[in-house]
Amino acid sequence: MIFLFFYSIYTMQNLWTVWAGIALGLAWLGAAIGLWLIGKARLESLGRNPEGAKAYFVPAILSLALTEAVAIYGFVVAFMSLSK
């Protein structure tokens, strides 16, 4: 049974599928950790200086958008590897 599992993994199409899943999972994991750290830093900065909320808003939104782009790039790479 285990032999059949490893044999099916090492066929070419299934190997690309496995690598696409790993790439997508790592990209989403990295984006999730980045979003968590950005949100944490924003809340800490607002706790220390509540008057600076307007000054911190635009940089926080830009950093959130750029971090989310990492997950989108991972999605694109995963589908590009499946189209080979």
Global pTM exceeds 0.75: no
Mean pLDDT of each 10-residue bin along the chain, 84 residues long: 54 72 88 94 90 88 92 86 74
pLDDT of amino acid 1: 45
Burial of 74 (0-12, 13-18, 19+ CB in 10 A): buried
Q: What is the CA radius of gyration of the chain?
A: 19
pLDDT at 20: 81
Instruction: Find how far residue 67's CA is from the centre of its chain.
Output: 8
pLDDT score at 40: 94
What's the start-to-end Cα distance of the chain, in Å?
29
Full set of structural domains in the chain with CATH:
16-82 (1.20.20.10)
By the 8 A CB rule, do 75 and 24 touch?
Answer: yes
